[in-house]
Structures are given as structure tokens and as C-alpha cells.
Structure 1
Amino acid sequence: DLSTLRLFELSAGAGAVQLDVLRAARMAENVLIRTRKFMSNRLLFRKQMVVDILHPRRCVLSLKEIRERLAKTYKTSPDMVFAFGFRTKFGGGKSTGFALVYDSLDHAKKFEPRYRLARNGLVPAPTKGRKLRKERKNKAKKVRGTKPKKKKTES
């Protein structure tokens, strides 16, 4: 079946792009998402799990797609799903990562680190540069514990 598609691709020319789109759509259906080491964490109001994604002959799903599929599985919105730490096994075909599904958006904002909230678009990313933040931090360290000096008035 695949070899006849390749032959047809070579002869079709411009239609080859359409075939690639069809093949990509068919491969997307073959992606299987499994969860293991599932734990319901009542203290942090979330469910946490290790996620295995089987994607033979296909590149890894984007984090957005993973979040949408997990949200559908756990009957929640994608905003409350945080997926991270995905690594693809050597040779491809399988990726493993971690996911957190919060009970509410308020709990997610309370317990998730700011950088993950920014990645998911729940808080704005820092606009000021890294160097400026570091300079401010170092100036604050020097000022701490010292009295403000008064200017000498000349008479």
C-alpha cells in the first residue's frame, strides 16, 4: 500500500503535496497516549502522571496537542493541563514525559511555577531583559542593611 503511494507520488508531481497531507493525517490517528504511575494529589488539588506517547513513523506531538488530548481524556479544559519534560527514545516512536491536571485554574495559578504558567499563556512572560533583572538584584544586595547617606550642605 505504501509503495504504491510512493509510485503515485512520483508520477503525480503537484499532487504529491496533497498525498503527504493525507498521509500525515492518517499517521496522526496512529498516535497512542498512555498514562502510568497515576496519582491523585489531594494536597495540591491535582492529578499527576507519567505520560507515554507511542508515535511510530511520526514526529513527536506538540505540547499543545498533548494538552488537548489529555484534557479530553480527563474531561477538563486544556488550560488546566501542564505537560513537560518529554524525551524521545533513541530511534523515535516513543516519547515519555510528565503531566499535571489541576482541579481548577485558581489552584493551577497558586501551585505551578511562573515559568510554566507563562508557557501555557496564563500569565504574561517577563518583558524586561535578564541582564536588567540581575543588575537590579545585585544593587539591592549592596543596599541592604545600610543607612541612606545624607547629602552635605555647603554653607
Structure 2
Amino acid sequence: MIIDIIHPGSAGVSKKDIREKLASMYKADVEAIFVFGFKIQFGGGRSTGFALIYDNKEAALKLEPKFRLVRHGIGEGPKTSSKQRKEKKNRLKKLRGTAKTKGAKKPKE
């Protein structure tokens, strides 16, 4: 659903506050509500964004994208840094066949 929030005199409303307000309005679990994509109108005082309300937490885990679960604090993000992932990808590009499944080891210098 699309949400319009009117907040004159304040810079913006936190997503946590929005989720709590929606939970009380729609009698839903706070962990089953996802809010995102907020844009503050030029001049302030009004914000527009999106909200998704699921039946329960399990449905949200099944249907929500992984990056939104990580932002929400439920899912897990990547363990390694992006540089390490890129280096491994480039090492694997030099291998063929079953050597790729065995894994790329760092070249000896």
C-alpha cells in the first residue's frame, strides 16, 4: 500500500514509528510490517512511501527480498567483504571444469 504521512514542523518520521503506528491501526505484528521507499516532499511536512503487511513473520520471511530482511534486522547479510568476493570471482574465471567446484586457492607468489 502507499502511505502518505503529514508531519509539519518535523524533519521526518522514523520507519520504526511508522511500523508501530501501522501495527496499531491494522492490528498486525510489528515484525510482519515492512516500510520502504519514502520520499520527503520538497519543503518538508509530507512524506510518501510504501508499506507491506504480511499475515505473520513466516510469510514475510518467505516472500520478502533478502536485502529488505537484512535492513529489517531479520535476515543475515553477506559474511565476506565485496573485495574478497570479487577477488574469488576473478580467480575462478581462470579455472575450468571441476576445478571451479573444488575452489579457487590464492596463487603462490
The question of a shared fold, defined as TM-score above 0.5 by the shorter chain, is answered with yes
1:113 — aligned with what? 65
- 1:78 shift after superposition: 1.1
Code of the residue aligned with 2:77 in structure 1: it is: A
Measure, in 2, the Cα distance between the counterparts of 1:147 and 1:77.
47
- Aligned partner of 2:82 among 126, 130, 139: 130
Greater RCO (CA < 8 Å, at least 6 residues apart): 2
- 1:142 shift after superposition: 4.1
Q: Deviations over 1:39-79 (max 9, x none)?
A: xxxxxxxxxx0000000111211111111111111111111
Q: Does 1:51 align with 2:3?
A: yes
Larger Rg: 1
**TM-score computed with the length of structure 2 as normaliser:** 0.80
- Aligned partner of 1:66 among 7, 13, 18: 18
Question: Could you tell me whether the CA contact under 8 Å between 2:9 and 2:45 is conserved in 1?
Answer: yes
Code of the residue aligned with 2:50 in structure 1: it is: F
Question: Could you tell me whether the CA contact under 8 Å between 2:38 and 2:50 is conserved in 1?
Answer: yes
Distance 1:65 1:141, change over 3 A: farther
Query: Size of the alignment, in residue pairs?
Result: 99
1:35 — aligned with what? none
1:93 — aligned with what? 45
- 1:83 shift after superposition: 0.4
Code of the residue aligned with 2:62 in structure 1: it is: K
Measure, in 2, the Cα distance between the counterparts of 1:102 and 1:132.
36
Measure, in 2, the Cα distance between the counterparts of 1:106 and 1:70.
19
Question: Could you tell me whether the CA contact under 8 Å between 2:29 and 2:56 is conserved in 1?
Answer: no
- The more displaced of 100-109 and 87-96 is 100-109
**TM-score computed with the length of structure 1 as normaliser:** 0.58
2:32 — aligned with what? 80
Q: Structure 1: which 5+ residue stretches go unaligned? A: 1-48, 149-155
Distance 1:104 1:139, change over 3 A: farther
Where do 4+ consecutive residues of structure 1 move more than 4 Å?
A: none
